[in-house]
Chains A and B, each alone.
Chain A
Amino acid sequence: MLALFQEDGLRQVLQEMEALYEQNQADVNEAKSFGRSDLIPSIKLRHCCLLRNQRCITAYLYDRLLRIRALRWEYGSVLPANVRFHMSAEEVQWFGQYKKSLASFMRSLGEGEGLDITQDIKPPKSLYIQVRCLKDHGEFEIEDGTVILLKKNSQHFLPRWKCEQLIRQGVLEHVVS
């Protein structure tokens, strides 16, 4: 879901922007001191390029932030290592701060008791659901210590809250019969 952070590409764009800006600076000085009004279109052109590059970079960074925010809802507060590898240092920091503010928001709900709003995103129909394992996921440990072996094509009947994460990740499939 999240591609590798394009450090090189970003640097190239910034270098390009710097180069354009310097050229523009030089031209503006020249136009002011020597009154060369024929340089003005090129100055305008470079200025437009600079603005476009800025828009592209901010769009890129913003899109990544939105995806990282969605990761919190999908994977929970601990991200798997391969996803974290794709994030830049600033993004990791941002993710940490987002986690903190979400956690403090959740704590403040329900008159100080706290409510985990990442559970039960769709209204549940029953306490326990029947799930089918779509791929080998190995052993799955739940909070109270019980371990379930998730082998492909095995079916389980488990409490809803234990399965929700895995259903979202596509390891389990909810069976309605």
Chain B
Amino acid sequence: MFVTDIRKDFYEVVANQRVALLVAADIDALCACKILQALFHCDHIQYTLVPVIGWQDLSTAFLEHKEQFRYFVLINCGANVDLLEMLQPDDDSIFFICDTHRPVDVVNVYNDTQIKLLIKQDDDLGVPSYDDIFRDDEEEDDGSGNDSDEGSEPSGKRRRFDEGAIERRIERQRARREWEARRREILFDYEQFEFHGTSAAMMFFELAWVLTKDTKDMLWWAIIGLTDQQIHDKITHMKYVTDVATMQRHVSRHNHRNEDEENSLSIDCMRISFEYDLRLSLYQHWSLYESICNSCYTSSSFKLWTLNGQKKLREFLADMGLPLKQVKQKYTSMDMSIKENLRDVIEESSNKFGMKEIRIQTFGVHFGFQNRFLASDMVHATAALLESTEKEESDIAHNFIKALDSLSRGNLDRLHVGIDHAKRKLLAIQQTVASCICTNLILSQGPFLYCYLMEGTPDVKLFSKPLALTLLCKYLLKAFVHSTRNKRCKLLPLIMAAPKDVEKGTVIVAGIPPESETSDKKNFFGRAFEKAAESTSSRTLHDHFDTSIIELKTEDRSKFLDALITLLS
């Protein structure tokens, strides 16, 4: 059931209890976890934090901890499957689920005792009504009971009774079949598309606000959670803008208390500000030139993998009057005169070159003289740390802890390491995109586009992780749409496969919806993958919380694809 009063029905329930936190491995979940941890520290609520990366991890963690804990809080996992069926908990275990995955499974919605959903009941949830899905079965039993009595003693009067009873029974059965058919249809429509709802970090920030325990750190984490959804393309642009407006109200509320003429705050205090900043990833920690070359928006608009594109970039820079030498320098060492109206100058020139949305609404933080970060910088850095493939035995829990630490202001060195990893990741993505487009690796299979990264591709290890692979998919699709002339291909979704584990011989397959201005980001690949795997009995592992990302044995790749093509055409 949905929790209406989050303070009374969630926070006060766990106030004197020990809680197990099971947190999924994405940035929004990490931010939500940080906010919740800060609240728990305030009120001395004992907890145990366990990172989980998939359904198997979740089941294992639950089994290990179910003896010791009664209350479980699941962050960004668990809402889109029948949780009670999967975990088989005891009757006194209670689950609080704060998950952005939609659609929420109907069993989770209508269970009154054990599942509490910390989700806003937005209009876009579209949960089917109770009567359409669940129905009491008493009438059927009565009908069959009567049949046996009547069948054993046929006589004159009884025969008339028989006919009436049989008619009624037939009527009942027909009504039931109709109801079941309608139920299947309703459920199919409801569960067909996967999409994402309001950020979990924002939900927990709202809880903190209701408890009046919100701090600037929590606000910053909520902003990072929201930005993560935008960068990894999980929510629509409309929703992002609406949520940014909500966050901006909180930001102005926090800033309002501070700056007087007489007592201005020390420069070391944390200041969050609303920025209408450029869509260039990590530009303040890199050089402007590198950032333009490696950001998705600019590189696909200029088509920087072609010679023509490189020329256009140089024209663009010349148009703005920025000398190449300055632009290739580290941003912090650029001339102050150039940095002053950089954003406006870039916006003006971008409009001339066809990039109307070079600026985007976002937030920035700064504390101390040196430390300025945009929310998108933090997302890229933390995602790079979370999925780092640096050491051979990169334990997911270890990376999770490192990424979680980098979100705290005291661990700036870790954040800078993350920024370095993020730069390498963006470079790798850019090079892979360029090579895929130049060597025409993207094939149109009819209902979708398909691309397979071979084993020897440089940096292919990076793309065995889900977040990195989805980012690559998004950039590749955008670049492809800009580069192809085929009008039909521009509207197709993309499926990408990359080798995941060489010893086990598996690939990771991810599918994203087609690229469009008004995309509603609804992804149907989850169900499609399931059906295709079933029909060809391919050996697949649907372990990830996003159903559109699966693991597949390399040998079954071709038959799986064929099944998908027939399914979707």
Docked complex: A122-168 residues within 8 A CB-CB of B: 127-128, 130, 132, 146-149, 151-159
Q: B408 at the A/B interface (Cβ < 8 Å)? A: yes
Contact yes or no, A156 B398, CB < 8 A: no
Q: For B49, give its contact among A149, A155, A159 (CB under 8 Å).
A: A155
Q: B400 at the A/B interface (Cβ < 8 Å)? A: yes
Q: Which residues of A contact B37 (CB under 8 A)?
A: 130, 157
Q: How far is the CA of A132 from the CA of B398 in the complex (A)?
A: 11
Docked complex: B396-429 residues within 8 A CB-CB of A: 397-398, 400-401, 405, 408, 410-411
Proximity bits, A62-79, B CB within 8 Å = 1, else 0: 000000000000000000
Q: A177 at the A/B interface (Cβ < 8 Å)? A: yes
Contact yes or no, B67 A147, CB < 8 A: yes
Q: B249 at the A/B interface (Cβ < 8 Å)? A: no
Contact yes or no, A154 B50, CB < 8 A: yes
Q: Which residues of A contact B40 (CB under 8 A)?
A: 157
Q: For A156, give its contact among B49, B401, B405 (CB under 8 Å).
A: B49
Contact yes or no, B64 A158, CB < 8 A: no
Q: How far is the CA of A49 from the CA of B296 in the complex (A)?
A: 82
What is the distance, in angstroms, from A56's C-beta to the closest C-beta of chain B? Answer: 46
The residue on A at minimum CB distance from B399 is A153
Contact yes or no, A155 B68, CB < 8 A: no
What is the distance, in angstroms, from A156's C-beta to the closest C-beta of chain B? Answer: 5
Q: B48 at the A/B interface (Cβ < 8 Å)? A: yes
Q: How far is the CA of A151 from the CA of B37 in the complex (A)?
A: 19
Q: Which residues of B contact A155 (CB under 8 A)?
A: 48-49, 401
The residue on B at minimum CB distance from A139 is B68
Q: Which residues of A contact B408 (CB under 8 A)?
A: 177
What is the distance, in angstroms, from A159's C-beta to the closest C-beta of chain B? Answer: 7
Contact yes or no, B46 A158, CB < 8 A: yes
Contact yes or no, B46 A130, CB < 8 A: no
Contact yes or no, A146 B18, CB < 8 A: yes
Contact yes or no, B68 A149, CB < 8 A: yes
Q: How far is the CA of A158 from the CA of B47 in the complex (A)?
A: 7
Q: How far is the CA of A159 from the CA of B45 in the complex (A)?
A: 10
Q: How far is the CA of A151 from the CA of B44 in the complex (A)?
A: 22
Contact yes or no, A130 B41, CB < 8 A: yes
Q: B395 at the A/B interface (Cβ < 8 Å)? A: yes
Docked complex: A71-106 residues within 8 A CB-CB of B: none
What is the distance, in angstroms, from A142's C-beta to the closest C-beta of chain B? Answer: 11
Contact yes or no, A159 B411, CB < 8 A: no
Interface size on A, residues (CB 8 A): 19
Q: B65 at the A/B interface (Cβ < 8 Å)? A: yes
Proximity bits, B362-401, A CB within 8 Å = 1, else 0: 0000000000000000000000000000000001011011
What is the distance, in angstroms, from B309's C-beta to the closest C-beta of chain A? Answer: 44
Q: Which residues of A contact B67 (CB under 8 A)?
A: 147
Contact yes or no, A149 B45, CB < 8 A: no
Contact yes or no, B405 A154, CB < 8 A: no
| Residue of A146, A148, A155, A158 contacting most chain B CB atoms (<10 Å) | A155
Q: How far is the CA of A74 from the CA of B37 in the complex (A)?
A: 30
Given contacts A177-B405, A177-B408, contact A151 B49 (CB under 8 A): no
Q: How far is the CA of A146 from the CA of B19 in the complex (A)?
A: 12
What is the distance, in angstroms, from B367's C-beta to the closest C-beta of chain A? Answer: 15
Q: For B46, give its contact among A132, A159, A177 (CB under 8 Å).
A: A159
Contact yes or no, A157 B41, CB < 8 A: yes
Q: How far is the CA of A156 from the CA of B69 in the complex (A)?
A: 13
Q: For B68, give its contact among A128, A147, A157 (CB under 8 Å).
A: A147
| Residue of B41, B48, B405 contacting most chain A CB atoms (<10 Å) | B48
Q: For B50, give its contact among A128, A146, A151 (CB under 8 Å).
A: A151
Q: How far is the CA of A152 from the CA of B398 in the complex (A)?
A: 9
Contact yes or no, A153 B398, CB < 8 A: yes
What is the distance, in angstroms, from A144's C-beta to the closest C-beta of chain B? Answer: 11
Contact yes or no, A177 B48, CB < 8 A: no
Q: Which residues of A contact B401 (CB under 8 A)?
A: 132, 153, 155
Contact yes or no, A157 B410, CB < 8 A: no
Q: Which residues of B contact A154 (CB under 8 A)?
A: 48-50, 397
Q: How far is the CA of A147 from the CA of B65 in the complex (A)?
A: 9
Docked complex: B34-86 residues within 8 A CB-CB of A: 37, 40-41, 44-51, 64-65, 67-68
Q: How far is the CA of A26 from the CA of B40 in the complex (A)?
A: 80
What is the distance, in angstroms, from B197's C-beta to the closest C-beta of chain A? Answer: 27
What is the distance, in angstroms, from B94's C-beta to the closest C-beta of chain A? Answer: 17
Contact yes or no, B405 A157, CB < 8 A: no
Given contacts A153-B395, A154-B397, A177-B408, contact A128 B41 (CB under 8 A): yes
Contact yes or no, A127 B64, CB < 8 A: no
Contact yes or no, B397 A152, CB < 8 A: yes
Q: Which residues of A contact B45 (CB under 8 A)?
A: 157
Q: How far is the CA of A152 from the CA of B49 in the complex (A)?
A: 11
Q: How far is the CA of A131 from the CA of B400 in the complex (A)?
A: 15
What is the distance, in angstroms, from B394's C-beta to the closest C-beta of chain A? Answer: 12
Q: Which residues of B contact A148 (CB under 8 A)?
A: 48, 68
Q: Which residues of A contact B46 (CB under 8 A)?
A: 128, 156-159
What is the distance, in angstroms, from A50's C-beta to the closest C-beta of chain B? Answer: 57
Q: How far is the CA of A21 from the CA of B430 in the complex (A)?
A: 85
What is the distance, in angstroms, from A35's C-beta to the closest C-beta of chain B? Answer: 80
The residue on B at minimum CB distance from A152 is B397
What is the distance, in angstroms, from A125's C-beta to the closest C-beta of chain B? Answer: 12
What is the distance, in angstroms, from A25's C-beta to the closest C-beta of chain B? Answer: 66
Q: Which residues of A contact B398 (CB under 8 A)?
A: 153
Q: How far is the CA of A151 from the CA of B397 in the complex (A)?
A: 10
Q: How far is the CA of A149 from the CA of B51 in the complex (A)?
A: 14
Q: Which residues of A contact B47 (CB under 8 A)?
A: 156-157
Q: Could you list 15 examples of A-B contacts with CB < 8 Å?
A: A127-B44, A128-B46, A130-B41, A132-B401, A147-B68, A149-B68, A152-B397, A154-B50, A154-B397, A155-B48, A155-B49, A156-B46, A157-B40, A157-B45, A157-B46
Further 16 A-B residue pairs, CB within 8 A, beyond A130-B37, A153-B398, A157-B37 = A130-B41, A132-B401, A146-B18, A146-B68, A147-B68, A148-B48, A148-B68, A149-B68, A151-B50, A151-B64, A153-B51, A155-B48, A156-B47, A157-B47, A159-B46, A177-B411
* B residues lining the A interface (CB < 8 Å): 18, 37, 40-41, 44-51, 64-65, 67-68, 395, 397-398, 400-401, 405, 408, 410-411
Pairs A-B, 10 closest by C-beta atoms: A153-B397, A155-B49, A177-B408, A156-B48, A157-B47, A128-B44, A147-B68, A154-B50, A157-B46, A149-B64
* A residues lining the B interface (CB < 8 Å): 127-128, 130, 132, 146-149, 151-159, 176-177
